[in-house]
Structure 1
C-alpha cells in the first residue's frame, strides 16, 4: 500500500491543540465546581444545563469517528441513499420528545435503568444495567481503536500513541470535570468535526471546478440513488430499510440510552430538554449532509481511479484519509484538522460513554446497597470515570486482536438496543405490562436479535444484496512504482468497471442464510423491539397483568404530550369562534346549544409539559 503523504509539524500542532483544549475544559470545571461535592453535580451537572450546549452534546455523543470515516466511504461505494436518515431523525426527535422525555424528566432519575425497578422489579433493572455496561465498554474500545488504525496506515501517525493520547485525555477531563466538562468539550469537538468536513469539501469543490461537476459525476456514476422504494427486506439500503430500521435504531439511542437521557434530564427545565432535542435535529442534519457530500466528493475525485480496487488502501475506512492526504498535503495543518475531526468524534463518544457508565454504576449497583454521603459518592463517581476510561483503553488494545469480530461487535451494540427499547416501551405505553412480561420480552427479544445478527456475520448475505456500485481503475496514472497521481483526469478508451465483492461459495449454506440471515442489518433493531413488545404483552396478559395497578407517574399521560395540549388549545379556540364555548369572567365555561359533546374541552395548559 502506497502512502500519499505524511504528517508534518503543523498537522501535529493542530491535533495536539485539540487535545490540550479538551483537557483544559476538564480542568476549568474541576476548578469552578471545587466547592460542590455531590455526585449529582458531577454526574448531572447540577441539573442546570441549557438547551444549546446540550443539543450539541446530544449530537456529538453518537457522532463518532465512524461517522467521519465510514459514512463518506459508504456513499462512495453504495450511493447517497444514506441521506434518507434525515427523515428518520425527524421521527426520532418527535417520538423522544413526546414519549420518553416527559416520563424520565418527571421522575428526575439519574440512571435510565432506575425506571425499570420503579416500573417492574429489581431483576429487570439489573439485567438492563448489565447489558448497557457490556455493550458500551465493547463499543467504546472499538471507537478508539478503529479510526486510529485507519489513520495510522494512511498518514503514518503512530497507532498506539494516538490511542493512548486520546484515551488518556478523554479519561482526564471526564474524571476532573464530570458531565459539564463532557458537554462543553462536545460543543468544541462538534465545531472541529464540521471544520474537518468543510476543509475537505471546499478543497474538493475547488479541485473539481464547482459543486455542479461533483453532482454530475455522482449522477452519472449512479451515486444519487436516494429514492429506492424497493420493499425487499434483504436489500441493504432502501427508503424503507433506512426510514423504518433507522428510526428504531436511533430511538433506542435517543429515547433510552443512558448517555443521551442523562443529558436532557440534566437540563434546567423540560422546555430546555425538549428544545435541545429539536436544536439537535439541525445539527444531525448538518453532519449527515456534510458526510454524504464528502462521499460524493470522494467519488468525483476518484471516479476513474478507485484506490481500494487498485489495492492502495486495505479497507474502505481509509478512503477519506487518503483523499485528505492527497488533496490537502500542500496545506500544512489541514490534514491535521481532519484527523482532529475524526478523533473529536471518538472523544465525544467515549467521554459520553464513560460518564454514562459511571452514572449507572453509582445509581444501580452502589447506592441501593451502600449508604454514603454525597461527598463520598462524588469521589466514587470520579474513581469510576477513571476506571472505565482505563477499561476502554484496554478494550481498544483487545480490539486490535479481534480482527473480523470488530464488525460483529458493532452490530451487537445495535442489536442490544432493540430489545431494551421494547422493554422501556412496554413500561411507558402499556399499563398492564408486568414484571414477568417485561423480563420474558427482554430475554426473548435479545435471543432473537442476537440470532439474526450473529447469523448474518457467519453467513454473509448473497452478493446481489450487498454488491457495491461500479468502480473503475482505468484512469489511474502510475507515474512511479511507489506513487500514484490520484487526481488524474485521463479517461480510458474502454472503461473497465470492477466490483469489489469477492466470489462466494454458497454450497452448504443453510436455508435460513438466504432469507433470515440476509435481512438488512437495519432491521435487526426492529426485530428485537417488536419481539420484546409482543412477547411481553402476551406473557403479561396471561399472568394477570390487567389486574395490577401502576402509578400514573410511571406511564405516559396524554397531558404530557405537546401535541395533545396544542390539539386542545386549537379545539377551544375553534369552539369560541363558533359560539359553542363561552368563558365567563369568573372562568366558568358555558356551552352554546347545550351540546354535551363539547363538555370535555377544558384547557389547562399548566398541567401540560409546555409553558402556558
Structure 2
C-alpha cells in the first residue's frame, strides 16, 4: 500500500479520536481530568485498560520473542494473575477507604510527606521512561514504513504524534481517555485477530495443526527448569506477580483509571475482568508469534525480534491487511502515552506541587498550572524518544521490564513497609532509603558473576529491590508510640 495512503488513514484515525475527545471533555474540570469525577463505567475502564497494559511493545515484541523463547512468557502471565488478585483484594479496598485522588497520598498519611514525594518521584521516573520506550518503538515503525519515504524526519514524526496526544488529553484527562482507550483497544484486538487468520490461511493450517507444527519445532515450550537461568519458572512467576502489583497496583496511571469507577465492587470487577481478558489476549499474541516463526523461513524473511512482525506484514501481506496492521499499531501507540502523560501530570500537580492542598489557588489557576505541567511532560517525552532512538535496542520489552525492576522497587518497599509494619520512620532519611535499593541492585547486577557464580539475576531484581528498600526503612524506623488511625490500617 502506498505510504501516502497509509498516512491519510493515520490522520483519519486521529480525527476520530479528536471527535471523541471533544464530546467527552465538554465542561471538564480538574476533577474530571484527575479521576473522571468518579463516574466512569467499569466495563469501559476494564476494556480500555487492556490497551494501556499491552501497548505497542506487546504488539511487536511478544510475538517477535517466540522464535527465541517459545511460549515461556506464559510463566510471567501466571504471575500476572496472582498479582491482579492481590491488588483487587488488598490495595483497592485501601484506596477506596481513603478516597484517594493520588494513590501516593497513602504514603503521606502513613509515613509522611517525604515518603509521598519519594513514591511520586519514582513513579514519575518509571512511567516517563517506560511510556517513552513504548512510544518510541511504535513511532520508529511508523517512521521506517511510511514517513521515511515521504521525507519526514524522525524528530518531526515524534513531535507530531505527541501533539496529537496533547490535543485530545489536554482538557478531558481521565474522563476522555476512558473512552479513547476503549476505541483503541478494539482496534488493536481486531488487527491481532485478522493477522492470525491471514497467517493460518497462508500456512494452510488449522489452529490444532499449527500448534502441532509449533510443538515439533520447540516453539511451545513454556517451563524453564534451570534454576540458574533468568527464565527459571519460579523466578518468572514471582516476578510476574510483583510486576503486576507494582506496575498496576502501585502505578498512578493504572489506578487513576480504576479508582475513577464509583464503587469498590465495580473497581474490583474492572480489575478482574482486565485480568481475564489479558490472559486470553497475551496467549493469542504468543500464538501469533508461533505462526510468524513458522511463516518467516518459508517466505524468506530474515528479520527477527521486534522487526519480525512488521517485516512479514509489509513484505508478504495484502494491502488490506497492512492497513489493519497499521490501525492496530496506532491503536496500541496512543494508550501507552495518553494515560501516562495524564497520570504524570496528575501526580506532579497533586503530590509534588500540592495543588489540591492549596486553598489560596482558584480553579482557574490550578488549571493553568496543570496545563503547564502537561506541556512540560510532552516536551520531556520528545527528548527521551530521541534518546531511545540513539540507543535502538533490539527488544524493547526487555528494556521496559529492566527499567521497571529498578524504578518500581522503591514503590514496592514503601508500600510494603506501610502495610506490613506499624512502625514510623525518620522522614528526612526516607529518600535515601528509597534510593539505596536501586543503587545496591545495580551493584549486584554488575558483579553477579563474582557474587553468585553461575546464577543469573532476572526479573526477580524487582523483588530484591523492594526488599532492600523495605530493610532500609526498617533501619530508619522507630516503634509506633500509638496505634495508627483505623482508616490507615491495612
Q: TM-score, normalised by structure 2?
A: 0.90
Q: Is 1:359–2:359 an aligned residue pair?
A: no
Q: Does 1:281 align with 2:275?
A: yes
Further displaced range: 109-118 or 256-265 = 109-118
In 2, Cα distance between equivalents of 1:188 and 1:390: 26
Partner of 2:9: 14
- Displacement, 1:421? 1.1
Q: Once structures 1 and 2 are overlaid, which stretch shifts more, 157-166 or 280-289?
A: 157-166
User: Residues 199 and 80 of structure 1: is their aligned pair in 2 closer, same or farther, counting only changes over 3 Å?
Assistant: same
1:42-89 deviation line (CA, Å, top 9, x unaligned): 211111112111112332223111110100011122101112333222
Match of 2:291 among 282, 297, 300: 297
**How far 1:226 sits from its partner (Å)?**
1.3
Q: Secondary structure at the match of 1:333?
A: helix
Q: Is the 8 A contact 1:426 1:438 kept in 2?
A: no
Match of 1:269 among 244, 249, 263: 263
CA–CA distance in structure 2, aligned partners of residues 446 and 551 of structure 1: 31
Structure 2 CA distance for aligned equivalents of residues 304 and 77 of structure 1: 17
- Name the SS for the 2:67 alignment partner: helix
Cα distance in structure 1, aligned partners of 2:421 and 2:339: 30
Greater RCO, 1 or 2 (C-alpha within 8 Å, sep 6+): 2
What is the aligned counterpart of 1:129 among 102, 108, 120?
120
Shift, 1:433, TM fit: 4.9
2:457 aligned with 1:519: yes
| Distance in 2 separating the partners of 1:219 and 1:148 | 34
Match of 2:71 among 75, 80, 92: 80
C-alpha distance in 2 between matches for 1:251 and 1:121: 22
Aligned to 2:254: 260
In the other structure, the counterpart of 1:208 is 203
2:372 is aligned with 1:390 = no
**Paired residue secondary structure (1:104):** helix
Of 471, 475, 478 in structure 2, the residue corresponding to residue 534 of structure 1 is: 471
Partner residue of 1:445 out of 437, 441, 446: 437
The whole-number CA distance in structure 2 between the counterparts of 1:321 and 1:223 is 20
1:168 alignment counterpart: 163
Unaligned runs of 5+ in 2: none
SS of the residue corresponding to residue 124 of structure 1 reads helix
Q: CA deviation at 1:374?
A: 2.5
Alpha-carbon separation, structure 1, partners of 2:426 and 2:92: 22
* Within-5 A mapping of 1:424-435: 424-435=415-426
TM-score, normalised relative to structure 1: 0.73
Q: Please, which of 409, 412, 429 is the counterpart of residue 418 of structure 1?
A: 409
- Counterparts of 2:399 and 2:453 in 1: how far apart (Å)? 19
User: Aligned partners of 1:317, 1:150: CA distance in 2, in Å?
Assistant: 10
Once residues 139 and 105 of structure 1 are traced to their aligned partners in structure 2, the CA distance between those partners, rounded to angstroms, is 27
1:275: Cα distance to partner?
0.9
Alignment of 1:197-596 (within 5 A): 197-209=192-204, 210-228=206-224, 230=225, 232=227, 234-303=228-297, 307-308=301-302, 313=303, 316-328=305-317, 330=318, 332-366=319-353, 367=355, 368=357, 371-403=360-392, 411-435=402-426, 441-452=433-444, 455=446, 511-512=450-451, 514-515=453-454, 518-520=456-458, 522-540=459-477, 543=478, 545-556=479-490
Distance in structure 1 (CA, Å) of the matches to 2:142 and 2:370:
33
Distance (whole Å) between structure 1 residues aligned to residue 307 and residue 24 of structure 2: 36
Report Cα offsets for 1:428-487 as digits up to 9, x if no partner: 23223535686565333232233345x38xx9xxxxxxxxxxxxxxxxxxxxxxxxxxxx
Larger-gyration structure (1/2):
1
Q: 2:253·2:342 contact (CA, 8 Å) conserved in 1? A: yes
Task: State the distance in 2 between where 1:196 and 1:451 align.
Answer: 43
Q: Tell me the CA shift for residue 423 of structure 1.
A: 0.9
CA distance 1:10–1:199, change in 2 (3 Å): farther
Q: CA RMSD in A?
A: 2.6
User: Number of aligned pairs?
Assistant: 480
From 35, 57, 60, the equivalent of 2:48 is 57
Structure 2 CA distance for aligned equivalents of residues 286 and 435 of structure 1: 46
- Long gaps (5+) in structure 1: 1-5, 460-509, 557-612
Greater share of helix = 2
Task: Provide the rounded CA distance (Å) in 2 between the counterparts of 1:63 and 1:450.
Answer: 27
2:417 match: secondary structure: helix
Say whether the 8 Å CA contact 1:154–1:322 is kept in structure 2: no
Q: CA 1:554–1:7 in structure 2 vs 1: closer, same or farther (change >3 Å)? A: farther
